[in-house]
Amino acid sequence: MSAPITKSQLGFELPKLSYVDASWEEPTLRAAPAAPARHGGLGDWMANLLATFRGWRERQAALAELSAMTDRELMDIGLNRGDLPRVFSANYRRGLDVRTA
């Protein structure tokens, strides 16, 4: 059984891609200058504090979601109830990084 498809029936077309480095095509093209690095200050401290708080909230939400799973669901993803407190522990992640490297 054969179902020929015409180009108009395909519904999408890949864009014309170029794998040539843009600097070869336009030698005067320069990279945008990097923004000057800012060090310290109250704004940076607040941004870091907010990012840390957001990360903590995301970890707590994930932990609550894992805690709401049944033992069977946890077993399906290779965890048990005793693993939950240490899943987000930095020491546990460091151990995983060492084993996978």
More confident call, 71 vs 18: 71
Residues of the domain holding 50: 43-101
Domain for residue 34, yes or no? no
Instruction: Establish if 23 belongs to a structural domain.
Output: no
8 A C-beta contact, residue 41 and residue 62: no
* Closest by Cα among 68, 61, 59 to 86: 59
Domain count, the chain: 1
* pLDDT tier at 92, thresholds 50, 70, 90: confident
Is there a domain that residue 92 lies in? yes
Arithmetic mean of pLDDT, 59-87:
90
Q: Is residue 86 part of a domain?
A: yes
Which pLDDT band, with edges at 50, 70 and 90, does 90 fall under? Answer: confident
* Domain annotation covers residue 21: no
Alpha-carbon distance of 57 to 63, in angstroms, equals: 10
**pLDDT given at position 86:** 83
Residue 50 forms part of a structural domain: yes
Residue 95 maps to a domain: yes
